[in-house]
Amino acid sequence: MQKNKIVLIRHGQSIWNELNKFTGWHDIELSEKGKNEAKNAAMLLKQNKFSFDYAYTSVLKRAIYTLRYILDILNEHWIIVKKSWHLNERHYGALEGLNKDEIIQKYGEKQVMLWRRSFNVIPPQINMQDERFPGHDLRYSHLNISDIPLGESLEMTSKRVIPYWNKVIYPQLKNNKKILIVAHGNSLRALMQHLNQIDNQDIIKLNIPTAAPIILEFDQKNSFIQWYYLK
């Protein structure tokens, strides 16, 4: 039976990943390791003869640049690329830019794990005057102020990721298009939870590594079957 496939990739390591900081919507460059991770992911896709018609990514450059490295090695810069804030990482609110180990020392490992991986626990929020508020960024100027987050749980992230999947990406799968999604740990966790129907308690166990291609398989009726890491 023929199977349709979508490839998911979390961006390569960023400079703030390397420094163990909460990143969220802050627009951070890839580290040297992250650039190499992106290139290695691309080589793995090339070796397995993957090609694409559409690519989707966030509006954050660590994902955009990861995608560019992949398309460069696949020689597919000509395909349709769509960028959307709906695929951004979750906004970590007042935690953004802070060191994770220092936050663990202050609040405890259990609380920090809930902020990082749980479904509905919201991190401490910022206010609109905070320089980390995305409303100050030109790329979000088209959004209603009420749609711009002050800090998000995974549940809140899902409420922008899943509608985008349903309305924009999934229809292209039904049109038999070959699709690549390069996004972030939590936007991809939200999609994985939706497709795999992972319980809100169990989602805390799911961590997606940087630049490790995930293959989603769908049957001829475009129903989700399974997922696995490409090796």
Catalytic residue numbers read 11, 89
Query: 126 among the known binding-site residues?
Result: no
Q: What are phi and psi of 67, to 5 degrees?
A: -60, -40
Task: Please report, in angstroms and rounded to a whole number, the separation of the first and last CA atoms in the chain.
Answer: 22
Query: 186 among the known binding-site residues?
Result: yes
- Interatomic CA distance for residues 45 and 179, integer angstroms: 13
Query: 90 among the known binding-site residues?
Result: yes
- Interatomic CA distance for residues 20 and 225, integer angstroms: 35
Query: 160 among the known binding-site residues?
Result: no
Query: 135 among the known binding-site residues?
Result: no
Query: 62 among the known binding-site residues?
Result: yes
Query: 132 among the known binding-site residues?
Result: no
Cβ contact 110:118 at 8 Å: no
State the burial class of residue 168 (Cβ atoms within 10 Å of its Cβ: 0-12, 13-18, 19+).
Answer: middle
Query: 223 among the known binding-site residues?
Result: no
Place of tokens 């292209």: 172
Query: 66 among the known binding-site residues?
Result: no
- Interatomic CA distance for residues 182 and 196, integer angstroms: 19
SS3 173: helix
Query: 15 among the known binding-site residues?
Result: yes
Name, in order, each residue with C-beta under 8 angstroms of 73's C-beta and a sequence gap of 6 or more.
Answer: 39, 42, 43, 46
Query: 92 among the known binding-site residues?
Result: yes
Query: 99 among the known binding-site residues?
Result: no
- Interatomic CA distance for residues 31 and 61, integer angstroms: 12
Q: Which residues are annotated as a binding site for substrate?
A: 10-17, 23-24, 62, 89-92, 100, 116-117, 185-186
Q: Which residues are annotated as a binding site?
A: 10-17, 23-24, 62, 89-92, 100, 116-117, 185-186
